[in-house]
Amino acid sequence: MNLKKLLDNVEYKIIRGNNDLDIREIQYDSREIEKGDVFVCIRGYVTDGHRYIGNACKNGASAVVLSEDVESMPQCTVIKVKDTRKALALMASNYYGNPSKKMKIIGVTGTNGKTTSTFMVKSILEAAGYKVGLIGTISNYIGDKKIPSHRTTPESLELQKLFGQMVKESVDYCVMETSSHSLYLDRTYGVKFCEAIFTNLTRDHLDFHKTFENYYRAKLILFQNAFNSIINVDDSYGERVYRDAPGHKVTYAIDRQADVRGSNLNVHSRGINFNVSYEGSTESVNLNIPGKYNAMNALGSAAACLCEGIDLGTVKKGLESMEAVPGRCEIVTKPYDLGYEVVVDFAHTPDGLENILKTAREFTAGKLICVFGCGGDRDNTKRPIMGKIGTELSDFAVITSDNPRTEEPMSIIDEILSGVKKNNYTVIENRREAIKEAMKMAGKGDVVVIAGKGHETYQILKGKTIHFDEREVVADIVRELTIGD
């Protein structure tokens, strides 16, 4: 593509050379550069792309897009912009034919519930006859085709490429998780959302955002680029989003009056029944995932689809046809007759842990046993909070390792223990052994909640990634306990 066309809608200044040249591809990693590429210098939190201009030119870059003055001017076309992240997003969109303008985009943001909500929206839209793409934490999808996901929201270059693939395959809607990181780092810059869903806001990612206000402001970016804002007004920050978001707003709630309202909740071990009311009509929904918070996710998803003109009967059909979302209140003991249940959940925040334990309590006839830890190299202020929640809301807790990354597992566990007030726990650093111990102590009517990793199929220890799928772990332990060690 011609560089001038590639820079359409980007404010820039030519420092050296000219913009009338053909570009092979866009790159922001100098190691990926081939002859004829344009290198966009992105300042990251570990390193700065401006440091690798020389390497990019050596590898054959025809042009460089930068935002800072450099000591040594490269011998190729040099374009200066105010913000290279925003420039990358617009250039990527131009390169792939502005694909987000050729389908409808629905974004979901919040601390918890993003993944489940995207799957719910996808199911409703498909029930209405649309072809749907999904971008998120577990995997990306183009219709039924599954594509590996490496982060919640891809960098803008990869995001626009994925949008382009969806357009080629005649996708009508793309529903995507929009993380606070991605919004702050302009990965979705230039994308217009037909619907933006706010699920909730609780403590998370303060290692990145530093303050809760910064975290909130990052989330708010989504609603500044949306036609409709779909807002959970049962959440205290939802009330603030309602005040701060521009444009048209639609509310949903269970405990308060709202445009889309949930009522008559009945939670059981394999799901939840509730009513959904909108504009004078009501449908009874039998969801295959338990928990009040999943009813709330369903309401937000329903509201977005109702705003897209889908009728309430089709919303009901879409929600009821959806099976459990991997690692989200997923009961992994359904194939076995153990007398007790094991639930795997991604809960890795204080609010997430509280939600899953309160939900599990509602269908626990006997003891509620919780296995949990905290990730390393992340916000350590939540560790004692989670220690308090994990022990106070369960009858017994097994505190263990999560993804310690570069930290010492026992150092993380010690910080978790600093918030524990009850003597109803044991510490087993090895996560597999911790799960086995919890299952050994479980009896008839008990529920074991394994929190923190959910859909993940790995564990990160001392910088190394090892295979660790809790569904497989539970299945292995069932065999061990059935036939003996």
Mark the binding-site residues, compressed into ranges: 30, 110-116, 152-153, 179, 187, 378, 402-405, 452, 456
Of the pLDDT bands very low, low, confident and very high (cuts 50, 70, 90), residue 484 is low
DSSP labels for 164-187? HHHHHTT-SEEEEE--HHHHHTTT
Predicted confidence at residue 410, as pLDDT, reads 97
DSSP labels for 118-175? HHHHHHHHHHTT--EEEESSSEEEETTEEEE-SSSS--HHHHHHHHHHHHHTT-SEEE
CA distance 298 to 302: 6
Q: Residue 454 has what DSSP assignment?
A: T
81 backbone dihedrals φ, ψ, rounded to 5°: -130, 165
With a cut of 70, say whether residue 210 has pLDDT above it: no
Of the pLDDT bands very low, low, confident and very high (cuts 50, 70, 90), residue 150 is confident
- Residue 208, CB half-sphere, CA atoms under 13 Å: how many? 17
Mark the binding-site residues for ATP, compressed into ranges: 110-116
Mean pLDDT of 108-123: 94
Q: Say whether 441 sits in a helix, a strand or coil.
A: helix
249 beta partners: 229
Of the pLDDT bands very low, low, confident and very high (cuts 50, 70, 90), residue 391 is very high
Mark the binding-site residues for meso-2,6-diaminopimelate, compressed into ranges: 378, 402-405, 452, 456
Of the pLDDT bands very low, low, confident and very high (cuts 50, 70, 90), residue 260 is very high
Mean pLDDT of 10-24: 96
pLDDT above 70 coverage of the chain, percent: 98
Of the pLDDT bands very low, low, confident and very high (cuts 50, 70, 90), residue 326 is confident
More confident residue, 349 or 124: 124
Fold topology of 3-90: 3.40.1390
With a cut of 60, say whether residue 408 has pLDDT above it: yes
Lowest mean pLDDT among 98-107, 156-165, 194-203, 430-439: 194-203
Q: Are 435 and 470 in contact (CB under 8 A)?
A: yes
Q: Could you report the per-residue pLDDT of 56-111, keeping only the tens digit for each?
A: 999 999 999 999 988 888 889 999 999 999 999 999 999 999 999 999 999 999 98
More confident residue, 208 or 436: 436
Predicted confidence at residue 206, as pLDDT, reads 52
63 backbone dihedrals φ, ψ, rounded to 5°: -150, 155
pLDDT above 90 coverage of the chain, percent: 82
Fold topology of 330-483: Protein-Tyrosine Phosphatase; Chain A (3.90.190)
Superfamily of chain region 99-320: Mur-like, catalytic domain (3.40.1190.10)
Task: Dig out the tokens for 263 from the structure.
Answer: 């009522």
- Residue 51 CB contacts under 8 Å (≥ 6 apart), including other chains: none
What pTM does this model have? 0.86
Domain assignments of the chain as residue spans, ordered by start: 3-90, 99-320, 330-483
Predicted confidence at residue 21, as pLDDT, reads 96
Q: Could you report the per-residue pLDDT of 450-468, keeping only the tens digit for each?
A: 999 998 989 999 879 999 9
With a cut of 60, say whether residue 207 has pLDDT above it: no
Lowest mean pLDDT among 50-64, 126-140, 153-167, 348-362: 348-362
Cα Rg of the chain, angstroms: 24
461 backbone dihedrals φ, ψ, rounded to 5°: -125, 120
Q: Are 420 and 312 in contact (CB under 8 A)?
A: no
With a cut of 90, say whether residue 4 has pLDDT above it: yes
Mean pLDDT, all residues of the chain: 94
Burial of 26 (0-12, 13-18, 19+ CB in 10 A): buried
Mean pLDDT of 434-450: 97
